[in-house]
Amino acid sequence: MIGPGDDLGGLIVAALDVTRLGAEPGDVIAVCQKVVSKAEGRLRLLSEVTPSPFARQLALQWDKDARLLELVLSQARRIVRMDRGLLIAETGPGWVCANAGVDESNGPGEGWAVLLPHDPDASAARIRAAVRHRYGVDVAVLVTDTFGRPWRQGLTEVCLGLSGLSPLLDLRGEKDLGGRELHHTVIAVADELAAAAGLLMRKASAVPAVLIRGYRYQPAEASARALVRGAESDLFR
Amino acid sequence: MIGPGDDLGGLIVAALDVTRLGAEPGDVIAVCQKVVSKAEGRLRLLSEVTPSPFARQLALQWDKDARLLELVLSQARRIVRMDRGLLIAETGPGWVCANAGVDESNGPGEGWAVLLPHDPDASAARIRAAVRHRYGVDVAVLVTDTFGRPWRQGLTEVCLGLSGLSPLLDLRGEKDLGGRELHHTVIAVADELAAAAGLLMRKASAVPAVLIRGYRYQPAEASARALVRGAESDLFR
């Protein structure tokens, strides 16, 4: 169990040591948001939250905890949908997800809520630096979270923060097998890598990090914010 | 290049033979929709399509091919969004995607369009049977396609059809690391497996199938339609 102030980079390096996996150039290390948030102290005690009248009204309407709803509203830049007891919100960096990413599971205990990391790209960069320092090789690091999505049942792991790789593989302009130019093909490799890691990060299994070895990504100094779809191409605001 | 009438199961078994990968119990084989559709003859020659007045009007408005739009409309049960030259539609089985899955890339050639498979679960079951027949072991098979999504840039590979595994891992009722019950956690493992396979199915690379070995899934006789979110929980209709 990770707590505020824990050295996540150091713990991941220790795990790579102990498992003898080490690190090789081009490895991708996916780390779940929850341990990042806890290590960085992104925790709130519900008893210290004062709900606004709006949060109290919602709580009454939906039979929820007004303090938790207040925290959700505090993390939201825009409410995308508010219906049937669900609150889909856009967070500061542009992530659209349930409850603006505020979550009570796997937190420090009853009465605590966990917020998304303040700057998940920076969190990823710190872990990457710790791996580079220990092994002298360059890896990529993803900070991932489990999001729902419209139209499809179930949650999948997606990328919230990254360091060292390009999140999008742009194939536009390349030719398909028949020589026809691809017009729309930009692959969200960071989300596909996150999803692959998600298969091994089961919620009750205490697996907070996954090593992906052998995938040839495009190294880059980039930000996960490139995965945020801008308003101009968003048909679902 | 796969064409109508090709024995996809036989070709995949041949590839497992030739690469000496064979098949082991519990393997997952992900096969991209495009080769399934082509083998099953889900192809249309645009010159044989007669566009309706509505398709002609849209084509004029958006500077697109009216015959292609007519095909898209023929595959749509419901238009979810129609804006900025984009047509997001729900297909018969409930998949929500761009152009109702009608696609010109990697088809048989200029002037052809490829439709989604008629029954991708059945397509997956046939490939699974071919592997069982050759190796005497039970595997799971996914038919995958590359879909966009709201709010996030880039496409990811998702599951359209399956045989032999449960697409959703339902953790509701299990306890988190602190003993707190999980209330919402249903993981779309079929989509996460598809995304993992998608990392290796680059559009111009002629890799239509991926073997995933070592992932412990829940064997089940199930349908990918379990991944379709019903209207009652869909906030983005």
Tens digit of each residue's pLDDT (9 = 90 or more) over B32-58? 999 999 999 999 999 999 999 999 999
- pLDDT at residue number A177: 85
User: Are B92 and B20 members of one domain?
Assistant: no
- pLDDT at residue number A237: 86
Last residue of some domain: A85, A115, A145?
Answer: A115
Confidence band (pLDDT; 50, 70, 90) for A202? Answer: confident
Q: Which residues of B touch A206 (CB under 8 A)?
A: 177
**B67-89 mean pLDDT:** 94
What is the distance in angstroms between the Cα of A165 and the nearest Cα belonging to chain B?
14
Percent pLDDT > 90 in chain A is: 84
Contact B150 A215 (CB under 8 A): no
User: Are A27 and A135 members of one domain?
Assistant: yes
Last residue of some domain: A115, A131, A158?
Answer: A115
Average pLDDT, chain A: 95
- pLDDT at residue number B178: 84
Residue of A nearest to B206 (CA): A177
- B86 or A8, greater pLDDT: A8
Indicate which of B160, B165, B176, B192 best probes the interface with A, i.e. most A CBs within 10 Å of its own CB.
Answer: B192
Q: Is the ipTM of this complex over 0.90?
A: yes
Beta-carbon contacts of B122 under 8 Å, excluding residues fewer than 6 positions away, are B161
User: Are A27 and A127 members of one domain?
Assistant: yes
User: Are B126 and B214 members of one domain?
Assistant: yes
- pLDDT at residue number B84: 83
Residue A15 lies in a domain: yes
**A67-83 mean pLDDT:** 96
Residues B202, A216 contacting (CB under 8 angstroms): no
Give me the number of domains chain A comprises. Answer: 2
Last residue of some domain: A76, A96, A115?
Answer: A115
User: Are A89 and A142 members of one domain?
Assistant: no
**A63-79 mean pLDDT:** 96
What is the distance in angstroms between the Cα of A141 and the nearest Cα belonging to chain B?
16
Residue A233 lies in a domain: no
Checking if the pLDDT of B203 tops 80, the result is no
Render pLDDT for A143-197 as a digit per residue (tens, 0 to 9).
Answer: 999 999 999 999 999 999 999 999 999 988 888 888 888 888 899 999 999 999 9
- pLDDT at residue number A130: 98
Task: Name the residue range of residue A194's domain.
Answer: 1-40+117-227
Q: Are strands B140-147 and B28-32 parallel, antiparallel or unpaired?
A: parallel
Residue from A126, A130, A128, A117 nearest A32 by CA = A117
User: Are B102 and B163 members of one domain?
Assistant: no
User: Are B17 and B90 members of one domain?
Assistant: no
Residue A92 lies in a domain: yes
Compute the CA torsion angle A11, A14, A16, A22 (nearest 10 deg).
Answer: 130
User: Are A106 and A141 members of one domain?
Assistant: no
What is the distance in angstroms between the Cα of A216 and the nearest Cα belonging to chain B?
9
User: Are A86 and A188 members of one domain?
Assistant: no
- CATH number of the domain within which B78 lies: 3.90.1660.10
Confidence band (pLDDT; 50, 70, 90) for B14? Answer: very high
Percent pLDDT > 70 in chain A is: 99
- pLDDT at residue number B205: 79
User: Are B55 and B34 members of one domain?
Assistant: no
User: Are A13 and A50 members of one domain?
Assistant: no
Checking if the pLDDT of A204 tops 80, the result is no
- pLDDT at residue number B227: 98
